[in-house]
Amino acid sequence: MNQNKRDGRNAVEEIDVLVVGAGFGGLYQLHQLRKEGFSVKVYEAGAGLGGIWHWNCYPGARVDSHIPIYEYSMENLWEGWNWSERFPDWQELRRYFEYVDKKLDLSKDICFNTRVTGAEFDEDSNSWLVQAGDGLQIRAHRVVFCTGFAAKHYVPDFEGLDDFKGVWHHTALWPQDGLDFKGKRVGIIGTGASGVQVLQEAAKDAAQVTVFQRTPILALAMQQKKLDKETQLEMKKHYLDTYKLRRENFGGFDIISSDKSAMEVSEEERQEVFEASWQKGGFNFWSGTFWDVLLNEESNLKAYEFWRKKVHARVNDPIVAEQLAPLTPPHPFGVKRPSLEQNYYDLFNEEHVSLVNLKETPLKKITANGVKTSAGEQEFDILVMATGFDAVTGGLMQIDIKGTRGKTLKEKWEFGARTHLGVATAGFPNMLFVYGPQSPTGFCNGPTCAEEQGDWMVKCLTDMRENKVQRFEATEDAEESWNRHMDSLLSKTLFGKADSWYMGANIPGKPRQLLMYPGGLQLYLMQCYESTSAGYSGFMLNK
Ligand code: N01
């Protein structure tokens, strides 16, 4: 398309592809699409690169996928980069993104501090007119949303929050220049991955920390390790194999489970397999034990019991241990996202750390001085809202995206997201989303998904250009069939049995649906490329 074509009185820049978001997904799109000769721009709401790693700068924020799984697999990137830890923190991840930026020369095509607020499809020109916060407009033939799964944070509607006289922040909107916990009384609401990480940091300096737990997190041993250059030099000899494995793996990792059921082995063998995975650390205990742990309730319970023993062995007070790891599982193991911990459980043995079980003593309101539960009021200087996200769909639906049928995306997905292949939705032509609903997303390592799903997007856009397709759009029939496929896969798993963000169940009023594709990355990609081979079946193409 022509650049800077006149649109009415205003000069509106015109480009081939607008990418929204400068995290792993968006940067990969920018790099690959530019290589294919497209004119591309990235609009990024944050002031820097990294997506969630720009926003997640709360104390203790670190990734829980290990190195080298959590990085791009491009050799020209990994060969010159070394990490200091197996699970790097947000600061090191930001340095990595700066390095990637320098190597691939990305920033020149990124508009920072530019939050996309709306987009409207113009049927005459088959292009999107996209608006950003400060009145900026751009016209793009195609738009690829790479907003990630956590672009819309969630603060519960707590009564009295506005009256709180201390300082409070949601973890994803943490002040970029930090916040000192030293000597402060800190309350943490929420025990997901963010809450676990904040406690581990806050407990170092704060005078007192109270964790408000509604559902216990099933946190696994991180088994963090320092990494030196020599170790990585050795590791790099196997990187090509590791990246091949991650492409072929269910969740985009290098973790493989046994092909045995947890129920077909002896108690001794079961414990050995569990223990070995536990010692490997990270998500090995989640997805690297027996193949049927997330499918079969009996097998699942065995994993839960092993995990529970590990927790009880570390917490001195048996009442607190029971609150953290109850006899009856709060939900099947692993169907709500586990997090990784280093000393989370040990901290509950410290004098200045306490746990409030909100199931027993519900939170009534936030007061001027602290938090009131049914057991009384506790005073705080700082409140941390580690209360999660309107995940996956929230980030897309908060943008005023107007398609061709008089509906916004928010209206279309009011009763649940509908997509074809988890990449496109009917009524919204020339629009794709990476890491969106009904694709592997939260079930897949981020960088793997950014590359694998990303490669398919690049191929799709290149094929459309080569075949002079002006407009492509998912069909409703294809959406229905993808939905049926999702339901049939879901019914074979235990994921529906937890009120998790995977199921949209963490947000009051949000439709309950599995937001992630549960068939694994390989099956997913197979279907994407089958559609390609069949001339993009499930899409209407107009020249
Ligand atoms: O959010 P969450 P998160 N009253 O939704 C509680 C990724 N991530 O930011 O479970 C009281 O998991 C809620 O309770 P319940 C990772 O994929 C990765 O921690 O709904 N409590 C829950 O405990 C992760 O899964 C990394 O009963 C309320 C917590 O808030 C995802 O992001 C780091 C409440 C929310 O937990 C989200 O993690 C951080 C209420 N009204 C995040 N409402 C790493 O890579 C909610 N809660 C390390």
Task: Give 297's pLDDT tier (boundaries 50, 70, 90).
Answer: very high
**Ligand 1 centre and the CA of 358: distance in Å?**
15
Atom of ligand 1 nearest to the CA of 172: 9
Are 120 and 139 spatial neighbours (Cβ–Cβ below 8 Å)? Answer: no
- Starting at the earlier edge strand, list the strands of the sheet with 185-189: 167-170, 382-385, 185-189, 208-213, 353-357
Of the chain, the percentage scoring pLDDT greater than 90 comes to 97
Residue nearest to atom 45 of ligand 1 (CA): 63
Probe target for ligand 1 pocket from 214, 287, 358, 515, with the most ligand atoms within 8 Å of CB = 214
d(CA 337, CA 333): 9
Q: Is the pLDDT of residue 235 over 90?
A: yes
Ligand 1 neighbourhood includes 342 CB (under 6 angstroms): no
Euclidean distance between CA atoms 276 and 284, whole angstroms:
9
Would the CB of 501 count as within 6 Å of ligand 1? Answer: yes
The whole-chain average pLDDT of the chain stands at 96
Is the predicted pLDDT of residue 8 greater than 60, yes or no? no
150 lines ligand 1 (CB under 6 A): yes
Q: Rounded to an integer, what distance in angstroms lies between the CA atom of residue 94 and that of residue 104?
A: 15
- Which tokens hold the place of 38? 């497209």
Is residue 527 scored above 90 in pLDDT? yes
Q: What is the pTM of this model?
A: 0.96
pLDDT band at 134 (very low <50, low <70, confident <90, very high): confident
Give 311-354 as a DSSP string.
HHTT-SSHHHHHHHS-SS-SSSTTSS---EESSHHHHTTSTTEE
Q: What percent of the chain has pLDDT over 70?
A: 98
pLDDT tier for residue 11 given thresholds of 50, 70 and 90: confident
Task: Kindly give the distance from the C-alpha atom of residue 90 to the centroid of ligand 1, in angstroms, as a whole number.
Answer: 18
Q: For residue 1, is pLDDT > 60? A: no
Q: Whose CA is nearest to atom 5 of ligand 1?
A: 388
Cβ 250 under 6 angstroms from ligand 1? no
DSSP 409-457: HHHHTTT----BTTTB-TT-TTEEETT-TTBSGGGS-HHHHHHHHHHHH
pLDDT per residue as tens digits for the range 37-78: 999 999 999 999 999 999 999 999 999 999 999 999 999 999
Closest protein CA for atom 8 of ligand 1:
193
**Cβ of 358 below 6 Å from ligand 1:** yes
Tell whether the model's pLDDT for residue 2 goes beyond 60.
no
- Given this model, what pLDDT does residue 504 score? 98
Alpha-carbon span 22 to 58, nearest angstrom: 19
How far does residue 189's CA lie from ligand 1's centre (Å)?
9
Closest C-alpha to ligand 1, atom 12:
192
Minimum-distance ligand 1 atom for the alpha carbon of 340: 48
The pLDDT score that the predictor gives to residue 3 is 41
Answer whether residue 241 shows pLDDT above 60. Answer: yes
Would you state the pLDDT for residue 406? Answer: 86
Q: Atom 29 of ligand 1 has which residue's CA nearest to it? A: 190
Indicate if ligand 1 lies below 6 Å from the C-beta of 500. Answer: no
pLDDT confidence of 10, banded at 50, 70, 90? low
CA of 406 to the centre of ligand 1 (A): 35
Tell whether the model's pLDDT for residue 515 goes beyond 70: yes
- Kindly state if the Cβ of 401 falls inside 6 Å of ligand 1: no
Token pair 């049926």 is found at 484
Mean pLDDT value of segment 304-319: 98
- Give pLDDT, residue 4: 41
214 Cβ closer than 6 Å to some ligand 1 atom:
yes
Atom 40 (ligand 1) nearest CA: 156
Express each pLDDT in 176-192 by its tens digit.
999 999 999 999 999 99
Quote the pLDDT of residue 12: 93
Q: Is the Cβ–Cβ distance between 216 and 192 less than 8 Å?
A: no
The reply to whether ligand 1 has any atom less than 6 angstroms from the CB of 156 is yes
pLDDT of 80: 97
Task: Kindly state the average pLDDT of the residues 225-249.
Answer: 96
Looking at ligand 1, which residue's alpha carbon is closest to its atom 43?
387
Question: 64 in ligand 1 pocket by Cβ < 6 Å?
Answer: yes
* Residue 337 near ligand 1, beta carbon < 6 Å: yes
What's residue 6's pLDDT?
39
CA of 282 to the centre of ligand 1 (A): 18
pLDDT digits (tens, 9 = 90+) for 475-505: 999 999 999 999 999 999 999 999 999 999 9
Domain ranges of the chain: 13-49+106-152+391-542, 161-228+256-385
**Fold of the domain built from segment(s) 13-49+106-152+391-542:** FAD/NAD(P)-binding domain (3.50.50)
